[in-house]
Amino acid sequence: MAKFSESVIEEIKTRFSIVELVSQYLTLQRKGDRFWGLCPFHEEKTPSFSVLPEKGFYHCFGCGKSGSIFDFVMEMEHLSFPEAVKRLAEKCGVVVEEESPAEKQRRSETDTLRDLYEKIAASFHYILLESSSAQNARDYLNRRAIDVAAWNKFNLGYAPDDPDWLYRFLSSKHYSESILAKSGLFSKNNFRYPLFRNRLMFPIRDWQGRCVAFGGRDLGGESSAKYINTPETVLYRKREIVYGMYESIPALKKLNHCYLCEGYFDVIAMHIAGLETAI
């Protein structure tokens, strides 16, 4: 399958307004910083399909479908990604070039990091549920009236106090030291030393439910930082993703508003209270 250079993809995005593209298929009406219309992917009477021109992104709060101009064309025209790129390139006069070896390497690293984050999120969650080492984390959650249903909904986890556990675990999965160093999960000064130890873990997920970052709450009382977060990586840009947005999708299908909260526990508590559009 053809792979295209990042410069080609970005050039198409620059030349092709997502509002202009979507408007070729449905009627949009501007409300604030978004455009709204009836979703082309499912039947509805009230518009729940939104387009964010500044981010070049669409999202339907009714069926959950979202993506870029390429995803939209793929859905509407039943095209593969390469076909969608070529179709849009022809429309806006961009010469298509396949990706360079360096770009192919960057894409491969991104895919590997996605896989790594999914494995770590699942492991942290399993440890919280099953390991005796996480008893302090379970007790802490119980004291804060965070029930097991919320643990599962938000995929909460526990990072063990063992300073060698994370490196051993990821090495056993055959991730390279280069990938570990770029993961954001280790100290900048010693990439074998974990960023999170003895912490309650909050996976931060994108619209598609993929874990892209973590927040961690200290449980030992010895750290100067009660909360720490993974730094920005190729997967995670703080200004683009907020905690709880994926978990809020089912409720947002019915409501076109959300509650903006300050911290992780505020979001979780609001969901437990039935205000499930809290982010």
Span 110-131, average pLDDT: 96
What integer pLDDT is reported at residue 204 of this predicted model?
A: 97
Give the rounded percent of residues in the chain with a pLDDT score beyond 70: 98
**Which residue has better confidence, 181 or 1?**
181
Span 116-144, average pLDDT: 97
pLDDT tens-digit readout, 246-274 = 999 888 877 878 899 999 999 999 999 99
What integer pLDDT is reported at residue 2 of this predicted model?
A: 57
Residues whose CB is less than 8 angstroms from the CB of residue 250 and which lie 6 or more positions away in sequence, other chains included: 276
Span 164-186, average pLDDT: 94
Pick from 238, 244, 168, 160: nearest CA to 209: 244
pLDDT tens-digit readout, 20-47 = 999 999 999 999 889 999 999 998 889 9
3-state secondary structure the chain: CCCECHHHHHHHHHHCCHHHHHCCCCCCEEECCEEEECCCCCCCCCCCEEEECCCCEEEECCCCCEECHHHHHHHHHCCCHHHHHHHHHHHHCCCCCECCHHHHHHHHHHHHHHHHHHHHHHHHHHHHHHCHHHHHHHHHHHHCCCCHHHHHHCCCEEECCCCCHHHHHHHHCCCCHHHHHHCCCECCCCCCCECCCCEEEEEEECCCCCEEEEEEEECCCCCCCCEEECCCCCCCCHHHCCCCCCCCHHHHCCCCCCECCCCHHHHHHHHHCCCCCEC
Q: Which domains occur in the chain, in start order?
A: 6-92 (3.90.580.10), 106-241 (3.90.980.10)
pLDDT tens-digit readout, 68-110 = 999 999 999 888 888 898 889 888 888 776 667 777 788 889 9
CA 239 centroid distance within chain:
12
What integer pLDDT is reported at residue 97 of this predicted model?
A: 66
The answer to whether 186 and 194 are in contact (CB under 8 A) is yes
pTM: 0.69
What is the rounded average pLDDT for all residues in the chain? Answer: 91
β-sheet bridge partners, residue 66 = 59
* pLDDT at position 231 over 60: yes
What integer pLDDT is reported at residue 99 of this predicted model?
A: 64
Give the rounded percent of residues in the chain with a pLDDT score beyond 90: 65
The answer to whether 214 and 202 are in contact (CB under 8 A) is yes
Q: What is the rounded CA–CA span in Å between residue 1 and residue 83?
A: 10
Q: What is the rounded CA–CA span in Å between residue 125 and residue 109?
A: 24
Q: What is the rounded CA–CA span in Å between residue 211 and residue 245?
A: 12
What integer pLDDT is reported at residue 102 of this predicted model?
A: 78
